[in-house]
Amino acid sequence: MNAPAAGTPETLAVRTRTVAPASAPTFGSRLGAAFAMFRNGKSLTGLAIIGFFVLIALFADVLAPYPPTKVDNARRFEPPSADHWLGTTHIGEDVLSQVIHGTRGVIVVGFLAAAIATVIAIAVGVIAGYLRGWKSESLSALTNVFLVIPGLPLIIIVASMFEEPPLWVIAAVLGITGWAWGARVLRAQTMSLRNRDFIQAARANGEPLRRIVTVEMLPNLMALIAASFVGTVTAAILGLTTLSYIGVIPVTTYNWGTILNWASAQGAFRQNQWWWYLPPGLCIALIGVALSLVNFGIDEYVNPRLRSAGERARALRKKGIDVNDAVTAVRSIPARTTTPDDELAQNPSR
């Protein structure tokens, strides 16, 4: 501790001491601050699972033991064995290889669709939130129209316009129909930010609109943007696999939904060929869990009450107080076993 200069009260020294030479923010620390919403156990677990699937998608060719469509008529409907870890299909294809190759389509479409949707959501949401008057209202009305029009029927109809839609077309359709929710949330948050002091100050300084939006507003919207991105990835993955299962998307590119389409069409569900229909479904569920873990983490970052409420209630219960009990419990304090500080910490309202 620095020795206080003679004559200054000690409290002053304590108060002023904390002015450490602030090191210039490095790129790393800035990056860390921008992604602070991911720095908690739940989000990290989810991100790790997603990273695992991304790696599988990248190295599918190396990891898969067989080509996904290699027909082997001698070994049809085989349960898992040493040769085929997840068994074979009705024409002897290796299920494990199909699942591994199927990861690629799911990851690509999921993230591409979410990227498209997020860009539209940011553009529409932030502009609608920042502007006032009829421009804002009409953008908001557009958002609501996209929210209200039933999405899946529209996607089915649009996707059937293409004979062989490539992956990016599917991603684009899913993205264009899936941005509205994010835009709505971002608009609400931008409207509340618009009147905060620092935005007013930036405007009074005469900063251009572009700078106000990108430098002042976007960093404060990052958590919401991340949450809507994650939500759209989930929706896009569910959408893609559902469309593939329905058979709207042709079966040329393998993804988990396509495998389930084949399994269902060949009666795997009625003949208990679990090795065929369980793995792809579990993969979709696992990636869905990972994405919702990330979102739980972001939610708790945005609204700390979600976590602290439970912790506080548990701490109270440990002391024998029900959090919902309106009557303040009067307890006899054991003589001088607690220091006044402890007591203060327990009853801060005193």
Partner 1 sequence: MTAIAPIPTGETHDDALVVGTTATRAVKGHARVPWRFLGSRALFYLFTLWAALTINFFLPRMMKGDAVDQYLARNRNVSPEAAEALRALLGLDTDKTLWQQYLDYWGLLLRGDLGVSLLHGLRPVTEVIAQALPWTIGLVGFATIVSFAIGTIGGAVIGWRRGSRLDALVPITTFLGTIPYFWLGLLAIAVFSVNLEWFPIGKAYGVGSKPELSLEFIGEVIHHGTLPALTIIIASLGGWMLGMRNMMLTVLDEDYITVAQAKGMPNRRVLWGYAARNAVLPQIQSFALSIGFIVGGTIVMEMVFSYPGVGKLLLDATNAKDYALMQGVFLILTISVLVANIIADIAYAFLDPRTRQTEA
Say if residue 238 is exposed, middle or buried (CB neighbours under 10 Å; 0-12, 13-18, 19+).
middle
Q: What are phi and psi of 325, to 5 degrees?
A: -80, 120
Options 16-24, 192-200, 223-231, 309-317: segment touching partner 1 (CB under 8 A): 309-317
The smaller minimum CB distance to partner 1, of residues 66 and 181, is found at 181
44: its two tokens: 């990290």
- Within a 10 A sphere around the Cβ of 200, how many other Cβ atoms? 11
Contact between 310 and partner 1 (CB under 8 A)? Answer: yes
List of residues 6+ apart from 334 with CB closer than 8 A: none
For residues 118 and 232, the answer to whether their CB atoms sit within 8 Å is: yes
Q: Which helix (H) or strand (E) holds 92?
A: none
Contact between 30 and partner 1 (CB under 8 A)? Answer: no
Contact between 161 and partner 1 (CB under 8 A)? Answer: yes
Interface residue with partner 1 among 35, 292, 321, 346 (CB under 8 A) is: 292
Contact between 270 and partner 1 (CB under 8 A)? Answer: yes
Size of the site for partner 1 (CB under 8 A): 55
Contact between 313 and partner 1 (CB under 8 A)? Answer: yes
Contact between 311 and partner 1 (CB under 8 A)? Answer: yes
Contact between 330 and partner 1 (CB under 8 A)? Answer: no
For residues 34 and 70, the answer to whether their CB atoms sit within 8 Å is: no
Contact between 151 and partner 1 (CB under 8 A)? Answer: yes
Options 82-90, 193-201, 216-224, 280-288: segment touching partner 1 (CB under 8 A): 280-288
Interface residue with partner 1 among 303, 342, 344, 345 (CB under 8 A) is: 303
Options 8-16, 50-58, 156-164, 209-217: segment touching partner 1 (CB under 8 A): 156-164
The smaller minimum CB distance to partner 1, of residues 34 and 157, is found at 157
CB of 277 to partner 1, least distance (A): 7
CB of 106 to partner 1, least distance (A): 11
Between CA 121 and CA 184 the distance in angstroms is 8
227: its two tokens: 């949450």
Interface residue with partner 1 among 141, 201, 329, 344 (CB under 8 A) is: 141
Interface residue with partner 1 among 248, 249, 294, 298 (CB under 8 A) is: 248
Rg of the chain, C-alpha, whole Å: 28
- Within a 10 A sphere around the Cβ of 85, how many other Cβ atoms? 15
Site for partner 1 in 215-244 (CB under 8 A): 234, 238, 241-242
Between CA 55 and CA 321 the distance in angstroms is 49
DSSP characters for 138-154?
HHHHHHHHHHHS-HHHH
322: its two tokens: 């029900």
Contact between 272 and partner 1 (CB under 8 A)? Answer: yes
Helix pair 95-130, 256-265: axis angle to 10 deg = 130
Options 31-39, 112-120, 188-196, 298-306: segment touching partner 1 (CB under 8 A): 298-306
List of residues 6+ apart from 99 with CB closer than 8 A: 86, 256, 259, 279, 280, 283
Contact between 191 and partner 1 (CB under 8 A)? Answer: no
For residues 186 and 125, the answer to whether their CB atoms sit within 8 Å is: yes
Binding site for partner 1 (CB under 8 A): 141, 144-145, 147-154, 156-158, 160-161, 163, 181, 234, 238, 241-242, 245-246, 248, 257, 260, 264, 269-270, 272, 277, 281, 284-285, 288-289, 291-292, 296, 299, 303, 305-306, 309-314, 316-317, 323-324, 326
